[in-house]
Structure 1
Amino acid sequence: MTCTTRRPTSVVRDHLAWLAAAGMTRQAVTADSGVSDRTLRNVIHGTRPSVNGDTAALLLAVRPRAVVENGRLPALGTVRRLQALVAYGYGIEHISTLSGLSMRHLFDLVAGRRPTVTIRVRHMVTDVYERYSTTPGPSKWAWAAGRARGWALPGAWDNIDDPDAVPQRGYTSRPDRLPGVLVGRVLRGEASIHTLTDDERAELWQRWAAERAAEGIAPTVSAFTRTFGLRYATAARIRTAALSGTETNPYERKVV
Structure 2
Amino acid sequence: MSTPTAISPAHTLRGTCIQHPRYVAGCPGCRERARVRRRARYRAAAYGLIDPKWLPASDAQAHINRLTGIYGMSHRQIARTAHVRRQAVLDIAHGIQQHASPRTIAAILNVSPQRPAHTGRVPALGAARRLQGLAVAAYSVRDIARLLDAEPQCVRRWQLHTTPQISVRRHRQIAELADCLDGTTGPSPRAQRQARVKGWAPLAVWDDIDNPSDTPRGYLPWYLTAASPRTVNQRKVA
The structure whose Rg is larger is 2
TM-score (norm: length of structure 2): 0.41
Q: Which has the higher helix share?
A: 1
